[in-house]
Structure 1
Amino acid sequence: MGSKRKLCQEFARILKGEGSITPEGVCLVQRFRNIDFEILGRETQSPLVNPQFFTFEGLDRCGNALNLGETVLLEEEVNPLLTELRKRDILVTSIHNHWLFEEPRAMYMHFESVEPPLDFARKVRAAFKKALCI
């Protein structure tokens, strides 16, 4: 478990988030965007509104894992991030909203790959830097 913990911490460092290993053995990295949203006219900083989550699990003997990601986006950030993730062979699987009556419009993007987790982390970081300047 020590080498997986070390890999998870490096995954988290690259993604600039907090990493932990769940009881099921999934490496989970969390971070939260600093976007001021209102829902139903009320300001919110809820972690349900501003999340970025990244995971990997099922590391095989070749070093590949199932890598998953989710991020909140402003409406105008959707296409630039979609383009940058696709350029890096990361599959975008969903773009949707979670809330009604929010300002500004909050969209959520899910993406995935099967590859070495650190490769996924580096690709995601580069895509975010290029598309979102973060």
Structure 2
Amino acid sequence: MPVKTRSSKCKQFAQILKGKVIASKNRLCVVQRIRNIKATVLNRRTRSPLVKAALFSFESPDKQGRTLNLGETVILQREINPFISVLRRNKIKVTALHNHWLFEKPRLFYIHFESKEKPLRFARKVAKAFTVLKK
């Protein structure tokens, strides 16, 4: 269940990323977005956020308002290169690309990325990268 937030910046972050705030306290903001991917694990249809989620966060602001910004999203194999290209063009570091599941269809990967900059700037860059993904 989404947690109500006092932080308008966290709400803006979520709106830009087309997600929902799931935590906002002690200068930490976490946003979840569920990808619309029809997936099966062990030949069973799944709607689990463990399979279909994208998660984003920001925390630890410095005096200039730059925060530690983190992201992870499920991604289809054919989406990997275009998505990484947009992230890299926007100076967001890609830190991991791996699978979580065995026997899933379609083949799903999970990509992790990070930056240290103002959180709304990070959100806009990530939102731009999401435009290359399957709708």
Structure 1 length as normaliser, TM-score? Answer: 0.92
3-state SS in 2 of match to 1:49: helix
**What is the deviation of 1:90?**
0.2
Instruction: State the Cα RMSD in Å.
Output: 1.4
Contact 2:34 2:54 in 1 (8 A): yes
Rounded Cα–Cα distance in structure 1 between residues aligned with 2:52 and 2:119: 23
Contact 1:5 1:21 in 2 (8 A): no
Q: 2:70 aligns with which of 53, 68, 71?
A: 68
3-state SS in 2 of match to 1:82: helix
Using a 3 Å threshold, how does the CA distance of structure 1 residues 44 and 133 change in structure 2: closer, same or farther?
A: closer
The alignment of Structure 1 onto Structure 2 pairs a total of residues equal to: 130
Corresponding letter in the other structure for 1:57? E
Using a 3 Å threshold, how does the CA distance of structure 1 residues 109 and 14 change in structure 2: closer, same or farther?
A: same
Partner of 2:20: 18
Corresponding letter in the other structure for 2:125? K
Partner of 1:120: 122
3-state SS in 2 of match to 1:31: strand
Contact 2:72 2:112 in 1 (8 A): yes
Corresponding letter in the other structure for 1:21? A
Rounded Cα–Cα distance in structure 2 between residues aligned with 1:121 and 1:97: 24
Corresponding letter in the other structure for 1:92? V
1:54 aligns with 2:56: yes
Contact 1:56 1:68 in 2 (8 A): yes
Using a 3 Å threshold, how does the CA distance of structure 1 residues 123 and 65 change in structure 2: closer, same or farther?
A: same
Task: Show the 5 A alignment for 1:1-134.
Answer: 5-129=7-131, 131-132=132-133
Structure 1: gaps of 5 or more residues: none
Q: Percent identity?
A: 52
